[in-house]
């Protein structure tokens, strides 16, 4: 009889494990985004729209209550990880993390913290572009909650009103201080400026490093991500090139912007580490001869330099070496 009961308990456990596996698989299927798994969504940095995904009742409870709940939950996480919460160094960590989340790095989630932008008449009749460059910001990837560190360059052409320079910085910081995707951040800043300034003539350029790429996953510590928005009068080759005159917006950055704007199809991203490395490997060029030989190679790629650059960025060195004679 005891053997029979033991057998039944073992069989019951196997059934439970099988049912659990089925439920987990169903949940994973339900949680796919257009056929992409959770891991693929995170590693490819996909996002679902311009607006930050928020619950309808996101501000039903106070910030104080949120901090209490986050501290409690984070304490559980630390406990599961095996950390000794009685240690003097760790005792206050849950509360510190909760305060940091609500009051600092994710404070941009709360509309109450949105900067109030005062407008002034453009009495100087300045009708050229105004550029606020090298705005340093710290954000966090919404897929892994690790930092995004970068610089934003913001420009606009007055339609009769101007905004205080500090407000440009504050708008960038407001939208950066939330779980983010860089493409969304770029567009949110642009849309806010268009609404505040009452003009389509707005440009936003962001160059950022993602720790979810450099510290985990592919662990690429050399790459950065560039996104751009060009509206109204800025959506022309001349205006984009004009932006390169400002220190901090170099030829490589400008080349990437022009490529992404679909205005030009014959642009090479000078100074790009990946392109330089591949060209040297494929054509067998030594470092001291690179600058001299590069222009000759690029002349063969015209008028499709942008296309070739994109091909190189999407294929590894081994594939390119095998196709050397066809380039």
Phi, psi of 120 (to 5 degrees): -130, 150
Question: What is the radius of gyration, based on Cα positions, of the chain?
Answer: 26
Q: Which of 215, 232, 263 is the last residue of a domain?
A: 263
Residue 243 has a pLDDT of 66
146-200 confidence digits (pLDDT tens): 999 999 999 999 989 899 889 999 999 999 999 999 999 999 999 999 999 999 9
Cα–Cα separations (whole angstroms), residue 40 to 34, 35, 167, 229, 255: 11, 10, 37, 26, 29
Verify that 141 and 211 share a domain, yes or no: yes
Report the SS3 class of residue 52. Answer: coil
- Ranking 25-29, 157-161, 312-316 by mean pLDDT, the lowest is 25-29
In a domain, 253, yes or no: yes
In a domain, 36, yes or no: yes
Task: Tell me the residue range of the domain where 193 lies.
Answer: 119-263
Active site residues: 141-144, 182, 210, 212
Verify that 68 and 136 share a domain, yes or no: no
Verify that 123 and 180 share a domain, yes or no: yes
In a domain, 113, yes or no: no
> Is the CB of residue 172 less than 8 Å from the CB of residue 155?
no
Verify that 101 and 124 share a domain, yes or no: no
Q: Which pair of tokens denotes residue 195?
A: 């609404």
Angle 276-280-284 from CA coordinates, rounded to 5°: 170
Contacts of 146 (CB under 8 A, 6+ apart): 140, 210, 211, 212, 215, 216
Report the SS3 class of residue 114. Answer: coil
CA–CA distance, 10 with 162 (Å, rounded to integer): 74
Verify that 101 and 139 share a domain, yes or no: no
Query: What is the pTM (predicted TM-score) of this model?
Result: 0.66
Verify that 201 and 277 share a domain, yes or no: no
219-273 confidence digits (pLDDT tens): 888 888 888 898 988 877 666 666 666 655 666 666 665 665 555 567 787 778 8
Q: Which pair of tokens denotes residue 184?
A: 């969304």
Q: What total number of domains does the chain contain? A: 4
Cα–Cα separations (whole angstroms), residue 188 to 41, 117, 171, 208, 248: 21, 15, 9, 16, 22
In a domain, 51, yes or no: no
In a domain, 16, yes or no: yes
CATH number, domain containing residue 100: 1.10.286.10
In a domain, 148, yes or no: yes
What is the share, in percent, of the chain residues with pLDDT greater than 90? 43
Verify that 76 and 19 share a domain, yes or no: no
């Amino acid at each position: 009889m005891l053997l029979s009961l033991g057998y039944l308990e073992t069989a019951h456990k196997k059934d439970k494990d099988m049912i659990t596996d089925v439920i987990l698989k169903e949940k994973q299927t339900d949680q796919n985004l257009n056929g992409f798994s959770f891991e693929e969504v995170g590693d490819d940095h996909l996002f679902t729209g311009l607006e930050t995904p928020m619950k309808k009742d996101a501000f039903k409870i106070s910030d104080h209550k949120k901090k209490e709940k986050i501290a409690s939950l984070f304490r559980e996480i630390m406990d599961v990880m095996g950390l000794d919460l009685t240690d003097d160094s760790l005792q206050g960590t849950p509360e510190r993390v909760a305060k940091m989340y609500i009051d600092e790095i994710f404070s941009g989630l709360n509309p109450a913290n949105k900067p109030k932008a005062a407008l002034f008449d453009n009495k100087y009749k300045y009708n050229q572009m105004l550029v606020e460059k090298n705005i340093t910001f710290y954000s966090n990837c919404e897929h892994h909650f690790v930092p995004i560190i970068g610089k934003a360059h913001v420009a606009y052409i007055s339609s009769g009103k101007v905004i205080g320079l500090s407000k440009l910085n504050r708008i960038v910081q407001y939208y950066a201080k939330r779980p983010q995707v860089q493409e969304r951040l770029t567009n949110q800043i642009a849309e806010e400026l268009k609404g505040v300034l009452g003009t389509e003539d707005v440009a936003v350029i962001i160059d950022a490093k993602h720790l979810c790429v450099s510290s985990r996953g592919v662990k690429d510590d050399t790459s950065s991500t560039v996104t751009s928005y060009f509206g109204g009068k800025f959506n022309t080759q001349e205006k984009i090139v004009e932006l390169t005159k400002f220190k901090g917006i170099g030829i490589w950055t400008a080349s990437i912007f022009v490529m992404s704007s679909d205005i030009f199809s014959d642009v090479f991203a000078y100074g790009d580490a990946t392109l330089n490395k591949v060209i040297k490997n494929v054509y067998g060029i030594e470092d001291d001869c690179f600058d001299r030989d590069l222009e000759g190679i690029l002349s063969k790629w015209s008028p499709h330099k942008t296309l070739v650059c994109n091909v190189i960025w999407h294929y590894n060195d081994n594939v390119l070496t095998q196709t050397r004679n066809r380039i």
